[in-house]
Amino acid sequence: MNTKNLLITGMFAGLFLSCKEVEPPAPVLPVPTPEQIKWQKMENYAFVHFGLNTFNDLEWGYGNTPAETFNPTDLDCEQWVRIIKAAGLKGVILTAKHHDGFCLWPTKTVDYNISNSPYKNGKGDMVRELSDACKKHGLKFGLYLSPWDRHNAEYGREGYQKTYHEQINELISNYGPLFEFWFDGANGGNGWYGGTNETRSIDPKTYYGYETAREMIKAKHPEAMIFGGTVPDIRWIGNESGWAGETNWSPYSLDKETHYTQNQWGMKDGNQWLPGECDVSIRPGWFYHEAEDSKVKSLKHLSDIYFRSVGYNSVLLLNIPPNRKGLISEADVNRLKEFAAYRQQIFADRVKKGRNYWNATSGSEAVYSLKPKSEINVVMLQEDITKGQRVEAFTVEALTDNGWKEVGKGTTIGYKRMLRFPAVKAGRLRVKIDECRLTAHINQVAAYYAPPLQATVQGEDWNNLPRTGWKQ
Ligand code: FUL
């Protein structure tokens, strides 16, 4: 070995030694895009199911209901928007076409649309009316366009994809800006299909050309979150009752074969940021049915939904179906007012809010001062999700007259976690991060009091909702 070789060997040895002293590189966690963060901050928004089903007392029209039956007499999209806004909801998603195939805008793609209905003598355009009302009142606007079309004769065959994409093209070119585009997961099965009355099945992974559809939408509406399909930005939470798992990771791996119930928890080691959306209707059905006027969810039920969706690191998509007049019914209006007032009452008290940025490692704790003897039963925690999601377990304690008392424990935090517990009077809070990956970035800790509520709707099964496991 000559001197030159020795030198090189020595250099490598030195390099090796110094490498051993350096920390291993931090694993790269999936992080949200700026658009996903903007969307998550909306926290809650409305769904509006309206169409032929409304006028025919149906949930899933077969595709043969006459277009002439669509006839709202007092339609007022501004009423919807005013009510939705006053309820604290930040946007609205309209069913531009449900499974029955009837289009609420004057599409050139099919005759089965609003221009062949008596509404405004065939001159109406519901997508325009709602899109304009949203703009006027400062709400965001989104669209639901059912891929499954039980009217179309070409459904299940080659020609339908072109029609479906052209419908998307009309919607993204003429309305908006859109904050979300919803591809429903219900697919195939029996239908009218141009009078053939048969069962047709498709492969949803390939049939609709979702990849192209996504590119089309994103090119015109870069902020639009895609729900459903094969290349989504957000994920269905796995139930239509409005709740996420108590443990709820925003990361998810779409290439992993799982049961859909996994959606409620997300995946700790998921390879992409795919946060959950909880969809639920204020009534039993998605569409309006007079028989359900007395079944509008109670304030207790709605508030439980809120704490188990927004409060479990998800967003809430609350459906409010207008009636046959084309208005949101009184029962729903009153409940939404109560819901808004209740939340204002809880979250208006800013005095209890502690705000500071805390870089926490596993086992570390922070103490927050409250007003002396504050009565509290809710603690809200938030992670700075620009760094990904990191907290795996935490404990909250309160300093009462009898010393420190553990009030609750949780697993994930994510964008927002609200922990509910029996009320205590406390002057301080202690938050402990029991387990986290790398360093957790906590950017908000706050405590509130949510007045206890009574169940008011007879027979409502809100307390029988399946509970998710503590850990997945
Ligand atoms: C489901 C549909 O089948 C329902 O009718 C409703 O639109 C709901 C939001 O999604 O998949």
Q: So what's the pLDDT on residue 213?
A: 98
Exposure of 130 in the CB half-sphere (CA atoms within 13 A)? 27
User: Can you tell me which residue has the tokens 């059912």?
Assistant: 146
User: Can you tell me which residue has the tokens 């994409």?
Assistant: 165
Ligand 1 atom closest to residue 185's alpha carbon, by position in its atom list: 11
Q: Is the peptide bond before 177 cis (omega within 30 degrees of 0)?
A: yes
Q: So what's the pLDDT on residue 274?
A: 98
Least confident of 204-208, 240-244, 286-290, 355-359: 355-359
- Quick: pLDDT tens for 322-350: 999 999 999 999 999 999 999 999 998 76
Residue nearest to atom 10 of ligand 1 (CA): 184
- Check pocket membership of 100 for ligand 1, CB cut-off 6 A: no
- Quick: pLDDT tens for 20-35: 456 655 667 999 999 9
- Check pocket membership of 129 for ligand 1, CB cut-off 6 A: no
Mutate to test the pocket of ligand 1, among 184, 187, 235, 241 (most ligand atoms within 8 A of CB): 184
Sequence length of the chain is 472
Q: How far apart are CA 9 and CA 15, in angstroms?
A: 10
Please count the other Cβ atoms lying within 10 Å of the Cβ belonging to residue 201. 11
Q: So what's the pLDDT on residue 71?
A: 97
% of the chain at pLDDT higher than 90: 85
- pLDDT mean across residues, the chain: 91
For residue 351, is pLDDT > 80? no
For residue 314, is pLDDT > 90? yes
SS3 at position 112: coil
The mean pLDDT of 11-28, rounded to a whole number, is 47
- Quick: pLDDT tens for 137-196: 999 999 999 999 999 999 999 999 999 999 999 999 999 999 999 999 888 799 999 999
Q: How far apart are CA 409 and CA 155, in angstroms?
A: 50
- Check pocket membership of 184 for ligand 1, CB cut-off 6 A: yes
166 is written with which tokens? Answer: 């052209």
For residue 43, is pLDDT > 90? yes
Ligand 1 atom closest to residue 98's alpha carbon, by position in its atom list: 7
For residue 3, is pLDDT > 80? no
Q: So what's the pLDDT on residue 355?
A: 59
- Confidence category of residue 2, pLDDT binned at 50, 70, 90: very low
- Check pocket membership of 182 for ligand 1, CB cut-off 6 A: no
Q: So what's the pLDDT on residue 395?
A: 98
Ligand 1 atom closest to residue 186's alpha carbon, by position in its atom list: 11
Give yes or no for a contact between 92 and 130, defined as CB atoms under 8 angstroms apart.
yes
Q: How far apart are CA 74 and CA 165, in angstroms?
A: 32
Q: So what's the pLDDT on residue 463?
A: 46
Largest CA distance in the chain: 97
> Phi first, then psi: what are they for 303, rounded to 5°?
-70, -35
Q: So what's the pLDDT on residue 248?
A: 98
The mean pLDDT of 283-298, rounded to a whole number, is 96
426 is written with which tokens? Answer: 């406390």
Residue 81 is which amino acid?
A: V
% of the chain at pLDDT higher than 70: 89
- Quick: pLDDT tens for 385-415: 999 999 999 999 999 999 999 999 999 999 9
> DSSP E strands: which ranges in 166-305?
178-182, 189-191, 198-200, 225-227, 235-236, 251-252, 272-273, 276-281
Q: What is the DSSP letter of 53?
A: H
Q: Which helix (H) or strand (E) holds 97?
A: strand 91-97
- Quick: pLDDT tens for 411-448: 999 999 999 999 999 999 999 999 999 999 999 999 99
For residue 9, is pLDDT > 50? no
Give yes or no for a contact between 253 and 270, defined as CB atoms under 8 angstroms apart.
yes
- Confidence category of residue 459, pLDDT binned at 50, 70, 90: low
- Check pocket membership of 279 for ligand 1, CB cut-off 6 A: yes
Rounded to 10°, the helix 160-174/210-220 angle is 10
For residue 45, is pLDDT > 90? yes
- Confidence category of residue 38, pLDDT binned at 50, 70, 90: very high
242 is written with which tokens? Answer: 């409005």
Global pTM exceeds 0.85: yes
